[in-house]
Structure 1
């Protein structure tokens, strides 16, 4: 069965307010529900609720940062979800960003590749029930063992934006997660990881035929993300360095209005799915044909389509 995921919680609603719609997701054709963790809901509680409300769904985090929790606490949270949804939980982890790790969580954002690699290796052992005593490059663990290891350890997938992290995801993890990509970008990422590795991407979708309004909103999202060093480097690798240079220069100079104006319409149309629902579903399938295993739709407001209606209209069963 083709995978078709959705992001939870839904924009503008709490998880409690979303229960009825989450329960409906499998009947609509959705196979997955994925959380995120930035400055809204945490990455685990929405998945625990969704796993109970809709037992047919696979649930996953995309992603929880490796530097905002200690390795042992991360293992405990993952083990709890794996117990609640045996065989249905996927733990997505990643380096995150300096703003989230340091400015918002008083952590230390250092050696992001090594920290992600070390956390992955620790979690593999801990979630298998091993007692871990190990000096890794970025931290040291002395005698940690889960009180209750999950009967079915969860798959672990990595946020990966460039070749080195993509190689780690393909070689040691169970898949890769990417973000802010076009179908053509998916082909380039797929070439790095090979044909058999699960590739997951969050796709921002606006069900609206008012292209001007969608682009105005999307520009704000794109400037917020593509000025983050990791995403700037990712899109440089994808070949958008010159396209994005005026936006990044204006942003660095503190001219937010100029930065927004420097985002071309064509770039928005490449990276944000928009149009009527049928057009959006067709675009998502274009990503799948390009090599995306698991599209994770993130409906965003705009054009007067309420988010619950967008969720229903974007579902495979609506085709």
Structure 2
């Protein structure tokens, strides 16, 4: 084990109440905390708190959408966190989804590959302290310069699911971030990005021995996520087109309940880690054994104390 990350904040725990547990994470063997940005906390604030609570941890965003902040504001937010956690912050960016970008943030979800590429190139220049005036193919910036460029520019990782974006990450970024994959799927992703690039993945973990409850929750998540077109295409590429076709057909027909019911147990068990804490740790390690650099646990709610679950899922040292 080299890295062992976890997603913050935890469901059902107020942000300010995270301090004691976050302070404990390094002693438990965790190396990283990563945030997300959908409709809960923003991606930067939990990491800013963690940077002061546990200075040993590496901090990462997985991910910040490239559409929901202007390029300059995104650079400012990243520079602020990089200043508070010099050498310990990783900026993960990606396209997000039309629901989040258009439906919730009133932005146009256009040219996702190009917008991500152009944002990456802008951020490289801006976070290096350069004055940027550039007509990128998807946006233009005039005379932008950070007033407080970080002494050490953070690495930038790209959210990537299929070969086009994975190859962009391998060419121009410092790593790739993915999710919703099995341990065996890691090898498929590795075949595109090569052996050396950092690969992080959010792994959904439900630490309970009640397999039916874990699978019921897993089915709800799978039908919600994998019916999003980009994830549907990802799993087609990974080889699940036929096994997930009944779910897609029922979802498209508006029968959400039946769509959940036809997801096979083996798909749930591939994509959702569940079982005893020891079994969960073993499954997470199998991702690493297949080529994952940085596993990032996303703790799913079981009704038990999340702090105790975090402690139970800590790597054996």
Query: What TM-score bracket applies, with the shorter chain setting the length?
Result: over 0.9
Q: 1:314 corresponds to which residue?
A: 313
- Deviations along 1:5-50, one digit per CA (max 9) or x if unpaired, are 0000011112201111011000000000000000101000000000
Q: 2:9 corresponds to which residue?
A: 9
Q: 2:18 corresponds to which residue?
A: 18
- Deviations along 1:272-311, one digit per CA (max 9) or x if unpaired, are 0111011100111100000000000011122x53211110
Q: 1:92 corresponds to which residue?
A: 92
Q: 2:126 corresponds to which residue?
A: 126
Q: 2:264 corresponds to which residue?
A: 264
Q: 1:305 corresponds to which residue?
A: 304
Q: List alignment gaps of at least 5 residues for structure 1.
A: none
Using the TM superposition, give the Cα deviation of residue 178 of structure 1 relative to its aligned residue in structure 2, in angstroms. 0.4
How many residue pairs get aligned? The number is 317
In 2, are the aligned partners of 1:208 and 1:305 still within 8 Å (CA)?
Answer: no
Aligned positions of 1:236-255 closer than 5 A: 236-255=236-255
Give the secondary structure class of the aligned counterpart of 2:38: coil
Runs of 4+ in 1 over 3 A off after TM superposition: none
Superposed CA RMSD? 0.8
* Partner Cα separation in structure 2 for residue 266 and residue 306 of structure 1: 28
Q: 1:199 and 2:173 equivalent?
A: no
Q: 2:101 corresponds to which residue?
A: 101
Q: List alignment gaps of at least 5 residues for structure 2.
A: none
Using the TM superposition, give the Cα deviation of residue 252 of structure 1 relative to its aligned residue in structure 2, in angstroms. 1.0
Using the TM superposition, give the Cα deviation of residue 135 of structure 1 relative to its aligned residue in structure 2, in angstroms. 0.4
Give the secondary structure class of the aligned counterpart of 1:30: coil
* Partner Cα separation in structure 1 for residue 197 and residue 285 of structure 2: 18
* Partner Cα separation in structure 2 for residue 250 and residue 17 of structure 1: 41
* Partner Cα separation in structure 1 for residue 97 and residue 258 of structure 2: 24
* Partner Cα separation in structure 2 for residue 227 and residue 154 of structure 1: 33
- Deviations along 1:115-145, one digit per CA (max 9) or x if unpaired, are 0000000000000000000001100001100
Aligned positions of 1:11-90 closer than 5 A: 11-90=11-90
* Partner Cα separation in structure 2 for residue 223 and residue 172 of structure 1: 33
Give the secondary structure class of the aligned counterpart of 1:316: coil
